[in-house]
Structure 1
């Protein structure tokens, strides 16, 4: 099943740290960028880290299937082989 790509923009307080996490650790190729934002390709989806140092982090959760899930959050659905490869890269 092929899903259309999504675009998600979110605040960060440190673009260099966002680049290390999304680009370095998760392996998301970097796309366009400016002084206050950077695009990443998250398995064909565009996520954008926007510099917003004064954005208050949310600490809310909601119960889902018996677990407390943080709000906001986003999820990436991967094929099992892609999931295993990502998990291995994160362990090393």
Structure 2
């Protein structure tokens, strides 16, 4: 299956702070920009941060229980290889990132075993990064 890049535009109430976070903490390459928005290469996908007043979801995230943790909803992110995930976890820790859910492996020994971590950007958008022990299990039931 050949995947096409997705495009995701998210609201940020502090464009300068969010721009610094995505470029420095994640090391993402910038694309086009204006005074109100910035494009980033988000692991081969197009992430656009748009200046926008704080949203209710950014002020107080809703959560759902998953594997004993309160997962913030809404959230977005990408599925990485295991080594990419480990490298990102290390990079985020080096920036003293405050995690909503610390990097860990969930569903150990089960179908869908995966490494995951959750964090918030400076504007309260929740992000999840994960890697599957067996990538073929991505859509397993």
State the TM bucket, normalised to the shorter chain.
Answer: 0.7 to 0.9
Tell me by how many angstroms 1:54 deviates.
4.5
Whose strand fraction is larger, Structure 1's or Structure 2's? Answer: 2
Residues 12 and 54 in structure 2, CA contact (< 8 A), matched pair in contact too: no
Q: Which residue of 1 aligns with 2:11?
A: 11
Q: Which has the larger radius of gyration?
A: 2
Tell me the C-alpha RMSD between the 2 structures: 1.8
Distance, in Å, in 2 between the alignment partners of 1:52 and 1:29 is 22
Q: Which residue of 1 aligns with 2:83?
A: 81
TM-score by length of 2: 0.58
The number of aligned residues is 92
Residues 26 and 92 in structure 2, CA contact (< 8 A), matched pair in contact too: yes
Q: Secondary structure at the match of 1:31?
A: strand
Distance, in Å, in 1 between the alignment partners of 2:62 and 2:12 is 17
The answer for unaligned runs of 5 or more in structure 1 is none
Q: Which residue of 1 aligns with 2:61?
A: 59
The CA deviation string for residues 29-56 of structure 1, in whole angstroms up to 9 with x for no partner, is: 1111011010111110111100002433
Tell me by how many angstroms 1:63 deviates.
3.5
The answer for unaligned runs of 5 or more in structure 2 is 95-141
TM-score by length of 1: 0.85
Q: Which has the higher contact order (CA 8 A, sep 6+)?
A: 1
Distance, in Å, in 2 between the alignment partners of 1:84 and 1:2 is 25
Mapping of residues 20-59 of structure 1, within 5 Å: 20-56=20-56, 57=58, 59=61
